[in-house]
Amino acid sequence: MSPAVPPAVPPRHMDSVLAILDALESPARGGSPGTAAALGRGLGVCSTPGCRAVLGEPPGTPERPLALTVGQWQLLTELLRHDPATPELGAVLAPDGSTVALGPLLAGIEAGLRSGGFGPPLPTLDPPADPLLAVTIAEALGTSFLLAQGNDNNATTLGPGGCWDDVENPQNYTLRGPPSPVPDPVAIGAMDGVLLGAQLARRPLPVAELLRGYYGVGNVSGAGRPLSSYRRRDFGALAGQERLEKEVAAVLGMLRTLSPSLELLRDMGTQEVEAVARRAAQEFSERYVECPAIVPRCLWGARPYRGTPALLQPPLGLVFLHHTLEPARPCRTFSACTRAMRDMQRFHQDTRGWDDIGYSFVVGSDGYLYEGRGWHWVGAHTKGYNTQGFGVGIVGDFTATLPDPDTLALVRDELLPCAVRSGHIRPDFTLHGHRQLGRTDCPGNALFQEIQSWSGFQ
């Protein structure tokens, strides 16, 4: 007998999820917008006490729908089986380069559909809590910070991020540190679940169509940023720190009545619960709303550093702004920006003979920062000053034109204030254009004129 051939499991990419949703939601095959959410619940989405209190007990374990191949079914069951010890197994790579946990995303989608009148109505919670925020982020966040209280504050409460083995064919995602109950993919999936759930509450539509529009799948022109690249801004507008704090406190109050397993809650007074909620909302907002997302080296395909990098001694007092000149066109998609990063690193290492790409960070017009030398290592961006400051390059030639307003805001309103708060640069830092410290036209006439109005410019 010949050995059984294992099923072809699709890559862990949002495209694979969309193909599954298309098959499940096809009216010709008896599907509907709620099919995927119901299936997700049966497979293990929403297995925590608070989520079950909101969305109800899960149905029995489902059989493979005929619309899905064996490989698709295997992928879906692996992605949706909730296991707190291995949160990275529930994540997929999105077209914008972010890594999204499907559990909180689908929980938010179900809550949105049901509050929009599709499916059974949601219960009224006591204490009053927003069901959408409860099932996506509030319970996970409250639980994470509550457990940290019980561990003398040494436990990791948020993060870490991670890396894929291959962005073209992602199969394995590895966290870059000890996991918390809210690693980066869970935080991202939760924010997306809130935003898309809120949209579905206003107008139910097929989930595949919703995700395609949000993540920019098939947007090959690269003319505009996908909506998903604005998740931090949009989540902050919908659920700012104050509202998030209130919802975390409400969910912890609800858990107190539900779950004997959370022993920590039994001995906590209202003020202590409120203090946990305050800290959770503040730290989440600072990390995932007020600070920009940084694409790590492993995700853009960086070559190794050559030689031995030298450590910086933060906080530093200087920031130098550059334009890349080559490529001259701003990059507006993850694939275009990662290609630009690899090209620049190759030029800096092979032609210039440097150890690595010179910049500390590079800014794409896709809404993301890309890690070059990063916060910790001396760069090669501003001759004579590399040990004293960070070099930030914006992809494009800004001699005659400016980066778009969103890209300027990413540097001015997010990166620089975040770097001060996190202790990488001093509150009294000074900002310079590269040309002020060397014989160069960088960062271009238009961009140099623009930054003269920015805080810290000297």
pLDDT tens readout for residues 172-206: 999 999 989 999 999 999 999 999 999 999 998 88
Q: What is the mean pLDDT of residues 4-12?
A: 82
Helix (H) or strand (E) holding 363: strand 361-363
Range with the lowest mean pLDDT among 54-68, 217-231, 361-375, 402-416?
A: 217-231
| pLDDT of the residue at 36 | 82
| pLDDT of the residue at 26 | 79
Q: What is the mean pLDDT of residues 230-255?
A: 96
pLDDT at 43 over 50: yes
Question: Which residue is listed with tokens 């778009």?
Answer: 404
Distance CA 414, CA 408 (A): 10
Query: Using alpha carbons only, how large is the chain's radius of gyration in Å?
Result: 23
| pLDDT of the residue at 259 | 58
Cβ burial of 457 (10 Å; 0-12, 13-18, 19+) is middle
The model's confidence at residue 56, banded by pLDDT at 50, 70 and 90, is very high
| pLDDT of the residue at 35 | 80
| pLDDT of the residue at 268 | 84
Q: What is the mean pLDDT of residues 79-86?
A: 83
Distance CA 161, CA 389 (A): 25
| pLDDT of the residue at 161 | 95
| pLDDT of the residue at 5 | 60
Q: What would the pLDDT profile of 401-441 be if each residue is shown by its tens digit?
A: 999 999 999 999 999 999 999 999 999 999 999 999 999 99
**HSE of 147, CA atoms in CB hemisphere, 13 A:** 13
Q: What would the pLDDT profile of 361-405 be if each residue is shown by its tens digit?
A: 999 999 999 999 999 999 999 999 999 999 999 999 999 999 999
Which residue spans of the chain are classified as CATH 3.40.80.10?
Answer: 297-452
Distance CA 249, CA 139 (A): 9
**Average confidence score pLDDT of the chain:** 92
Both tokens assigned to 207:
């989930």
Q: What is the mean pLDDT of residues 49-69?
A: 90
More confident residue, 258 or 56: 56
Q: What is the mean pLDDT of residues 109-127?
A: 91
| DSSP E strand stretches across 247-347 | 294-295, 316-323
The model's confidence at residue 220, banded by pLDDT at 50, 70 and 90, is very low
| pLDDT of the residue at 2 | 52
The model's confidence at residue 154, banded by pLDDT at 50, 70 and 90, is low
User: Does residue 314 have a cis peptide bond before it, meaning omega lies within 30 degrees of 0?
Assistant: no
| pLDDT of the residue at 25 | 84
Q: What would the pLDDT profile of 291-342 be if each residue is shown by its tens digit?
A: 999 999 999 999 999 999 999 999 999 999 999 999 999 999 999 999 999 9
pLDDT at 44 over 70: yes
User: Does residue 160 have a cis peptide bond before it, meaning omega lies within 30 degrees of 0?
Assistant: yes
| pLDDT of the residue at 221 | 46
| pLDDT of the residue at 218 | 62
pLDDT at 85 over 90: no
Distance CA 331, CA 17 (A): 26
Amino acid at 235: F
Distance CA 113, CA 199 (A): 9
CA nearest neighbour of 110 among 23, 46, 26: 46
How much of the chain is helix, strand and coil, in % rounded to 5?
Answer: 45, 10, 45
CATH number for the segment(s) 297-452: 3.40.80.10
| pLDDT of the residue at 205 | 84
